[in-house]
Amino acid sequence: MPPVISSISTQLVDLPTIRPHRLSMTTMARQTLVIVRLRSSDDIEGVGEATTIGGLSYSAESPESIQCNIDAWLAPLLIGQPADNLNALMARLDRHARGNAIARSALETALLDAQGKRLGVSVATLLGGAVHDHLPVLWTLASGDTRKDIDEAFQRLDERRHCQFKLKLGANALGEDLRHTEAICAALEGRAGVQVDINQAWDESTAVQGISALEAAGVALIEQPIPARQVSGLTRLANRFRVPMLADEAVQDAGDGLTLLNAGFSGAFALKIAKAGGPRGALKLAHLARSAGVGLYGGTLLEGTIGTAASLHAWSTLPSLEWGTEMFGPLLLQDDIVTEGLCYHEFGVDLPSGPGLGITLDEDRLRFYTRP
């Protein structure tokens, strides 16, 4: 008789960041993780993580709504169901619930983690097998202070932890953002690559002006300069400039990817398991992009170690990630809730080993940071 899901619990975990992290829509001093613990009748527990940025600043799901919807609606659909049939379980959610991609991602991660532990294999193996066991990771410079950002970049280079950097633009006036970027590009020229993320802050005319200057400064990639729904505008920008456009908020899943491709978009896609409803949905988008010759980038919603590990298991199965990854979320946090963190070295991060995600919770620290 197959094991059944016996319980699903959630908890909100608030972790302080190492410094204020400034984006166009918010400044973060802490990150809230929604930790999902799924237990089956065979006494195997799977863990998952649902994370977003700045409450409702980034998406329609907040940590509190994620917890509420899992507890009240999604978990009851899964409890009592066979625990070892992921396709059937996720199809059941599809039939009875709409949206909630971040919450679904946490549940799918927990189910994959449990099944991996049950079979004694990694999540990457369940997803088809790892092609890579070490993935490149860039670092985001987002203090808002040009001198601090340059010093931080040189420190990361000297540590051999990161050799690619992203700047968060859009919170300031265009001229100020351009001066900030040009100074950093000049300081890092010949030592590291620089890309920028606008987080939808510009209109198309501002983007034309800004991208022209960013291209001249040597920026390698421009992420989501205009609002997500302006597909035609993003396509025009991608076709107008040599520097590639990276679609992020505009491409949540494979359906959005098809819309962009049909519009003639020729840039790159940012993959995020949270946007796509889980690792499998993100990989569907990745395979669509690869078939169309679109480059890939392993994105983050600044997840902690559990969510980052789930993403790494997915990205490890891809033959190539032309634009690398930004799986630095745990490094932005002052502390962790796992017994052993991820191993960052040589400008990247190792894929965790062991069954499931290869991650073990630290119950004491988890209890300390859990919101009452």
Alpha helices in 97-203 (DSSP H): 101-119, 123-126, 146-158, 174-188
Which residue among 168, 249, 272, 303 is the active-site one? 168
Cα torsion 261, 265, 270, 271 to 10°: value is: 0
Question: Residue 212 class from Cβ within 10 Å (0-12 exposed, 13-18 middle, 19+ buried)?
Answer: middle
Terminal CA-to-CA distance of the chain, rounded, Å? 38
E strands, 94-186, where? 134-136, 139-141, 164-168
Q: Whose CA is closest to 304, among 35, 39, 62?
A: 35
Check: CB of residue 61 under 8 Å from CB of residue 102: yes
Phi/psi at 148 (5° precision): -60, -40
Q: Is 189 a catalytic residue?
A: no
Q: Whose CA is closest to 357, among 310, 314, 311?
A: 310
Which residue among 108, 223, 249, 326 is the active-site one? 326
Q: Is 159 a catalytic residue?
A: no
Phi/psi at 175 (5° precision): -60, -40
**For residue 122, what is the DSSP state?**
B
Cα distances from 73 to residues 33, 70, 90, in angstroms, run 19, 6, 14
Q: Which residues are catalytic?
A: 168, 326
